[in-house]
Amino acid sequence: MAKVLFAFKTFVTAATLVSVVLGVDPNSSDGHNDLCAKIASTNKWVAPSDVRACFDSYKLDENIRSNIIEVVTKTLPFHTSVNFQRQAPPPFEEIHEDITGDLERISKKKYDSEYDMYIELSRAFRRLNDGHAGWINYCYVCPLSFSISSLKNITFPQDGLYINYLPLPLSLITDSDGQQSIRIAFEAFDVASAEFSDQIEFWQNTLPGALKGKLSSLSGAKVLEINGNEPWDAVEAKVAISGGYQAHTTRQNAFFASYQRSTTGWIYRLGDFAQESLHTFTLPYRSRVGPTAVDFADTTTWRQNNCLAVKTTNGVDAYANTTTSRRTRQHIKNEIMDDTALVNVALPPTITPPNPLNTSQSVSQFYVLDDKKTGVLALGSFSDGTAGFDGQVATLLTGLQALKAAGVQQLIIDVTNNGGGYVCIAHFLHRIIAGPKPTTEPQAGLYTTARAGPLARLISQTIAEDKLDPDRLLFYNSLYWSYANNTSFPPNYDWVSPVVPKIINGHQDAFTQRLGSECPPSTFNITAPPQAIFDPKKVVIVSNGRCGSSCSLFSITMVKKEGAKTVVVGGKKGPQQYSGTVGGQSIDFATVDTEIKTAKLKNNTLSPPDLIVNAVNGITWRLGYGVWNPNEPEEWQSRPADFNLAVTADISNNPLKIWERVVKVAFN
């Protein structure tokens, strides 16, 4: 039985398309004063202040406010972590967000514009520091990381209308005397002149005095001040609002440039400083229209084309008899959506690792180091958009076997900026490295639980009693899950009740029973080999700490169950966390809405209405329990790295040099 594989029907009915037809906007019918006409999408590059003026000009419509507040308020009971995030334990005590209280406040506060409300709602979610939970409105710039995942085969637009850039990615470099300094990245000019070729002259000409036209001379320069303050003040200002990861240090690391393996090549992540409107430095930020913005000319077309609900905003009744084609089968995902990493800026060729093994494919690249005994798997994601689920599974197996055949005895797995993907690929990679043993079979994952609010209970009960899901399309269908003893649930079983009550931070809450195995062998179209490929104690997992979701699930179980070691590259001196945003399974409002609609519960007063704006509300739907403390979620348990590798100028953003340094530090 393929429990976690599921087919999903495609259903787009007129009834599920919420459309709010905007006539001429009374506030912008005077074309002369239309502040959005100035940033019409035909102008690729504009000043951030003009983007802001357009956004500020749109008044908050009370119907939109009440719709957003009602949807989010009624979706939050499905987010596992609301009460945990009121106050996280050390070392994450910075997390203390009362999201329900904030929603209450935002529902009443007076705002000058819709954008002002958006910023507050988005920031409230960011304060959860949970890359799975967020509010993103594609009508606006969406400045930072946020996550969603969905069982639907939909690629979400991954960034906002405009994104602000500076041609100055920064690096944190440790000198030979151990002193750390923030520098303009050594590769800054190479990267910026390639990616922003149509804007670099603007910046060149803006540089003052003798620097004019000499942007390249700034590469490697030490940054002494940003806006008259210590550079670290700018880092901390950003860290306070960026969200995404629990650990303060991991959010600091996002400020700096880094690399990631993508489906098509090695990409360069500019870092939050170069990619966000935070301050004006000597150079002004410039705002570039996002690749997913739909063309617009003025306020009316901006609103119509970018701000209204689209067909994927809301869920659908999975059995509505309007099916024209079936969705492809999907696997459970747990992933962070990091909109800042998407710019396809290539890592400069001089620092791109050469000669991957010919078994390498897409996000999974294999290398043998010159010492001939160290192999490297560079893994940019647990979701390979090119090879697909089965393809990535096959690539991982043949790649590791090729490393073994090449005589490799120890393995580096570089998961820098890996934001997760398929849960069962994380389990599979662990299983093939470590071989069959009690920690990997029936699966290498964590026990999980879902939150059991009143509407969740009703959905589960209705689906079970009315046998509403014969094709197994819904997450509340018992056939997806198993008891804690790893025996599959029976069909039409209401697995959410009876609930397990729990008091968290003084608040009464309720969860489902503990769920066991979720990736049975039938999930995979190949059989895992009968022997371990590597000794897991000779595996070192390397990243900048930004290893989230399924990447966390993989790293944590490899470390805590198998004794693998971890290295965090760079970052401020002191303990660094090797992963974060563990979750268990991440979903979004549209997915919840599909469960509700298919269970015929949309009319229930507990159910959220359809959203009328082009936005996504991501949530953590299942939460994994800890390995070392199995009574509490893994999410807020500390995960300090074994080694904190100082980045010196000669290895900065150079994966091969970093791996060679890791060998010296972690294998000797």
Ligand X SMILES: *[C@@H]1O[C@H](CO)[C@@H](O)[C@H](O)[C@H]1NC(C)=O
What residues line the site for ligand X (CB under 6 A)?
25-27, 59, 61, 153, 155, 321, 327-328, 358, 390-391, 394, 442-443, 445, 483, 485-487, 516-517, 525-526, 600, 602-603
Closest CB to ligand X among 188 and 432? Answer: 432
Rounded to the nearest 10°, the torsion over CA 595, 597, 599, 604 is: 110
Q: Are 186 and 226 within 8 A, CB to CB?
A: no
- Report the residue number, 436 or 575, with the smaller CB distance to ligand X: 436
Which tokens belong to 380? 């940019």
DSSP 402: H
CB of 358 to ligand X, least distance (A): 4
| Identity at 130, one-letter amino acid code | D
Return d(Cα 137, Cα 615) in angstroms, integer.
4
CB-wise, 268 or 296, nearer to ligand X? 296
CB of 479 to ligand X, least distance (A): 15
Residue number of the CB closest to ligand X reads 390
Torsion of CA 270, 135, 591, 415, to 10 degrees: 30
Least distance in Å: CB of 566 to ligand X?
A: 21
Judged by beta carbon, residue 160 or residue 516, the one nearer ligand X is 516
- Tell me the C-alpha distance between 270 and 195, whole Å: 11
Q: In the bound complex, what is the minimum distance in angstroms from residue 181's beta carbon to ligand X?
A: 42
Other C-beta atoms closer than 10 Å to the C-beta of 659 total 23
CB of residue 378 vs ligand X: minimum separation in angstroms? 18
380 or 570: whose CB is closer to ligand X?
A: 380
The amino acid occupying position 239 is: V
* Cβ(48)–Cβ(565) below 8 Å: no
Write down the least CB distance from residue 319 to ligand X, Å. Answer: 9
Identify which of residues 215 and 616 has a Cβ nearer to ligand X in the complex: 616
Q: DSSP secondary structure string, 504-540?
A: ETTEEEEEPPPB-----GGGSSSPPPSS-SS-GGGEE
Which amino acid, one-letter code, is at 551? C
Q: Which is nearer to ligand X, 73 or 486 (CB)?
A: 486
CA distance 245 to 419: 11
- Nearest distance from residue 62's CB to ligand X, in Å? 7
The 8-class DSSP code of residue 577 comes to B
643 strand-pairing partners: 567
Compare residues 107 and 486 and give the one whose CB is closer to ligand X.
486
Contact yes or no for 620/341 (Cβ under 8 A): no
Nearest Cα residue to 299 out of 63, 42, 30, 613: 30
Question: What is the Cα–Cα distance from 272 to 373, expressed in whole angstroms?
Answer: 36
Distance of CA 405 to the CA centre of its chain: 35
Q: What single-letter DSSP state applies at residue 440?
A: T
Q: Which is nearer to ligand X, 485 or 631 (CB)?
A: 485
Beta carbons within 8 Å of 203's beta carbon, 6+ residues apart = 167, 192, 196, 215, 283, 286
| Cα–Cα dist 507/184, whole Å | 47
Structure tokens at 570: 């760079």
Q: Are the beta carbons of 598 and 317 closer than 8 angstroms?
A: yes
The amino acid present at 339, given as its one-letter code, is D
Nearer to ligand X, 42 or 603 (CB): 603
Q: Residue 386 Cβ, how far from ligand X at the closest point, in Å?
A: 9
- d(CA 437, CA 204) in angstroms, rounded, equals 60
Residue 599 or 646 having the CB closest to ligand X: 599
CA distance linking residue 464 with residue 497, whole number of Å: 11
Q: How far is the CB of 556 from ligand X (least distance, A)?
A: 13
Q: Please, which residue, 276 or 469, has the CB nearer to ligand X?
A: 469
Using the minimum distance from each CB to ligand X, give the nearer residue, 232 or 493: 493
Q: Closest separation between CB of residue 11 and ligand X, Å? A: 12
What is the closest distance, in whole angstroms, from the C-beta atom of residue 331 to ligand X in the complex?
Answer: 12
Q: Which distant-in-sequence residues (6+ apart) come within 8 Å of 438 by Cβ? A: none
Q: Please, which residue, 448 or 579, has the CB nearer to ligand X?
A: 448
173, 196 Cβ separation under 8 angstroms: no
Nearer to ligand X, 28 or 242 (CB): 28
Give least dist CB 635 to ligand X, A. 17
Tokens of 411: 């393995």
Minimum distance, C-beta of residue 445 to ligand X, in the bound complex (Å): 6
Q: Which of 457, 520, 355 is nearest to 4 (CA)?
A: 520
Smallest separation (angstroms) from ligand X to the CB of 352: 20
H or E element at residue 242? helix 231-242
Number of H helices, E strands in the chain: 15, 23
Give the number of other Cβ atoms within 10 Å of residue 605's Cβ.
Answer: 6
d(CA 408, CA 309): 52
Q: How far is CA 323 from the centre of its chain?
A: 31
CB of 594 to ligand X, least distance (A): 13
